[in-house]
Structure 1
């Protein structure tokens, strides 16, 4: 009886892992990663009514993910043009396409006591 139970658990875990890979949408390029981040910013209204118009994006790439810093575009939208304050950052997993952000207002909206960690975001 115990072997049957362990086998069922093994099959269940294997099925869940496979289902996760089937639903994963790999991100193959910097442009794809930027598009996902911009859509997330608009969806969560991080840029207010201006969306991403007054934002500048800086991308770094590692083997596992794209790391995107979002900064204020002061030259385009007012303020000191020699300064581009960092607003928040995102990571985009290359294999799954999952996003995470360290946006303070997002953590606050989720009721999370933010400590600078990256939180999953859709």
Structure 2
């Protein structure tokens, strides 16, 4: 099982660094999730105050947990990083779903 990648994305703009194909894929998923968060106003936190934990180890889906980033700029206890919500991207269909729309039950629902 591949370890989950953690990334902070200050903005959904493209990265200027050279990356491996897997990292490029993770970056694209993070950009898609970030854009969806802004489009649906799922949090009032700035992009720079969000961390993304990506797990694409099963091959069929990419799971992305969105956490609060705590540091001097964003505030909060730097020893914690609460999960806000999660996304799943189905590789075959391209469908993105999230539990952000139903946090009480934790059910994943499609989101565009």
Q: Where does the alignment leave 5 or more consecutive residues of structure 1 unmatched?
A: 1-27, 109-113
- CA displacement at 1:30 relative to structure 2: 1.2
Change in Cα spacing, 1:51 to 1:77, as seen in structure 2 (3 Å) is: closer
Higher helix share: 1
| Deviation of 1:51 (Å) | 4.0
Q: Does 2:47 align with 1:52? A: yes
Match of 2:60 in 1: 64
TM-score normalised by length of structure 1: 0.65
Alignment-derived partner of residue 102 in structure 2: 107
2:25 to 18, 23, 29: 29
State the distance in 1 between where 2:49 and 2:42 align: 11
- Distance verdict in 2 for CA 1:47–1:53, change over 3 Å: farther
C-alpha distance after superposition, 1:59-88 (max 9, x if no partner): 001210110000000124101001000000
Match of 2:76 in 1: 79
1:38 aligned to which of 7, 11, 34: 34
Aligned with 1:118 (options 93, 108, 111): 108
Computed over aligned residues only, the root mean square deviation of the Cα atoms, in angstroms, reads 1.8
Larger Rg: 1
> Gaps spanning 5+ residues in structure 2: where?
1-23
Number of aligned residue pairs: give it.
87
Is the 8 Å Cα contact of residues 41 and 52 (structure 1) preserved in structure 2? no
- Secondary structure of 1:59's partner? strand
Structure richer in strand, relative to its length: 2
